[in-house]
């Protein structure tokens, strides 16, 4: 019985050692992933921190496509600071917080998402996602976006240094969208000397001319 007890004890110790080794290995991979993300100016995509070390392939490091290099200053995760401000003749002035993700996967396209929240209740507000690309050999930019208000639009404009100006070329909406109907949108993105991202949005509806609707400044969070 003593021998059997010793075997069980040794078996338990072996299992514990194996589990500890697995945890250490996973931690090592996690730290390596974080190091890769911080060490390269390019974005690391689809790199699972819990893969075995043998399965990590450095070819998975995705470099920014040269076609969108003029927009590289927009890349990153951003958070509004201070709160954004909104106004329009048909609504009460309001403040909002917003998170922005601007990423790439190696294609000649930037992936963009805006997630707005009520700063007090943290309830979701405006949502917008889309794609941005540049016409080859030019500084002409197109932004295709869909909004949770039922609007889908295409904006086009130009990027000059660290400023991007866009104006809607087409605006479509779901058949049961409430009035007033948006007719036109223009927006400007600008990187400030302090490294913050500013966005100013103008809007025209079937009831109002083109007027400033939103202004917000973002601080890079990653």
The CATH fold assigned to 66-220 is: Lipocalin (2.40.128)
Both tokens of residue 148? 């949770």
Residues in the chain: 222
Half-sphere exposure of 123 (CA within 13 A, CB side): 1
pLDDT in tens, the chain (222 residues): 444 444 444 544 444 444 445 554 554 555 445 544 443 433 444 444 444 444 444 445 789 999 999 999 999 999 999 999 999 999 999 999 999 999 999 999 999 999 999 999 999 999 999 999 999 999 999 999 999 999 999 999 999 999 999 999 999 999 999 899 999 999 999 999 999 999 999 999 999 999 999 999 999 997
Nearest to 52 by CA among 30, 81, 70: 30
Provide the total of helices (H) and of strands (E) in the chain, helices listed first: 1, 13
């Amino acid at each position: 019985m003593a021998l059997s007890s010793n075997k069980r004890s040794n078996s338990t110790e072996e299992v514990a050692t194996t589990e500890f080794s697995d945890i250490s290995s996973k931690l090592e991979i996690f730290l390596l992933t974080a190091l890769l993300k911080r060490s390269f100016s390019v974005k690391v995509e689809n790199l699972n921190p819990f893969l075995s070390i043998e399965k990590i392939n450095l070819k998975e490091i995705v470099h920014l496509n040269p076609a969108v290099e003029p927009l590289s200053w927009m890349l990153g995760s951003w958070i509004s600071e201070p709160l954004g401000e909104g106004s329009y003749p048909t609504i009460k002035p309001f403040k909002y917080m917003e998170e922005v993700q601007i990423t790439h996967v190696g294609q000649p396209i930037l992936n963009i998402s805006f997630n707005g929240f009520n700063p007090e209740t943290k309830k979701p507000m405006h949502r917008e996602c889309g794609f941005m690309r540049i016409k080859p050999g030019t500084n002409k930019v197109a932004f295709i976006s869909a909004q949770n208000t039922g609007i889908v639009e295409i904006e086009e404009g130009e990027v000059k240094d660290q400023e991007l100006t866009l104006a809607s070329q087409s605006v479509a909406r779901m058949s049961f969208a409430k009035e007033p109907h948006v007719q036109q949108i223009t927006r400007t993105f600008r990187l400030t000397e302090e490294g913050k991202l500013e966005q100013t949005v103008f809007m025209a509806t079937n009831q109002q001319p083109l007027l400033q609707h939103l202004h917000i400044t973002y601080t890079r969070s990653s």
